[in-house]
A and B are shown apart, each in its own frame.
Chain A
Amino acid sequence: DSGVTQTPKHLITATGQRVTLRCSPRSGDLSVYWYQQSLDQGLQFLIQYYNGEERAKGNILERFSAQQFPDLHSELNLSSLELGDSALYFCASARGDGNTIYFGEGSWLTVV
C-alpha cells in the first residue's frame, strides 16, 4: 500500500458523459501527478500540481481538467468522453520535487 488513495477503482460510463476521479496523496506530500495508461500508449504524463498550483502539463486533452484543493487532494475531470479515453488513470504523489513518486492503485475507466 503506497498510501495514495484513488476513487473510484472502476468506472463504466457512456460516450459523451463526464466523470471525476479523485486522489488523496500520502500524508505530507505536496505534489500530485496524474497519468493515463493504455495498452498502446503506455504511461502518459497528464499534469502535475504542487501545493495547489499547476506545476507542469503533459499530454492532457482540453476535455480533461484537474485541480488540487487546499487539503491537497486532487480531482481529474474527464468530459465529453470518447471510447479512446478508456484507460487506467493513475494518481501519484511526492513530498516535493526530485523525490520518490508513489503511485495509487489506479482508476479503471471504461467508456462504452
Chain B
Amino acid sequence: QQPVQSPQAVILREGEDAVINCSSSKALYSVHWYRQKHGEAPVFLMILLKGGEQKGHDKISASFNEKKQQSSLYLTASQLSYSGTYFCGTESDSGGSNYKLTFGKGTLLTVNP
C-alpha cells in the first residue's frame, strides 16, 4: 500500500524551514527518505527503523512514530540545493521487513533565493 505524503508541493525562500510528512495505513518496519532532482536518480537521505528513533545529518533530520505509522522529514535553514522532489518509501512490518519498499507520490520542494 502506497504511503501518503503531504504536502504535495512547497515553496520556500532560502533559510526557511519545511516539514514533509509521510503516513501509512499499515504497521511499518522502516521508512526511507530520498531526494530526486529532475531527470536524475533518487538519492538516499536516511533510513529509520521501527523503534521511533530520530535521525539526521547537517540540517536535515527525520522522525518515525511507529504507533502512528508516520514519519516526518525536517529541513531547517533550507538551501537552494535542497530543491527537488522528496520521496518516502516504506516497508510494512510482517514480523520483520516485507521487502517491498513502496514509495509515496513525492513532495516537490522549491527553494528560491
A contacts, CB < 8 Å to B: 2, 33, 35, 42-45, 48, 50, 55-58, 90, 97-106
Q: In this complex, what residue of B is CB-closest to A58?
A: B100
What count of chain B residues pass the 8 Å CB interface test? 25
Chain A interface main SS type: strand
Taking a contact as CB atoms under 8 Å apart, the answer to whether A104 and B44 are in contact is: no
Per-residue contact bits, chain B 28-71, to A (CB 8 Å; 1 contact, 0 not) = 01101010000011111001010000000000000000000000
Interface of chain B: mostly helix, strand, loop or mixed: strand
Question: Are the CB atoms of B100 and A98 closer together than 8 Å?
Answer: no
Cβ–Cβ contact A58 & B41, under 8 A: no
CB-CB nearest in chain B for A56: B99
B26 interface hit (Cβ, 8 Å):
no
Question: What's the minimum C-beta distance from B43 to chain A, rounded to whole angstroms?
Answer: 8
Interface residue? B101 (CB, 8 A): yes
Q: Could you tell me if B100 and A48 are in contact, using CB atoms closer than 8 angstroms?
A: yes
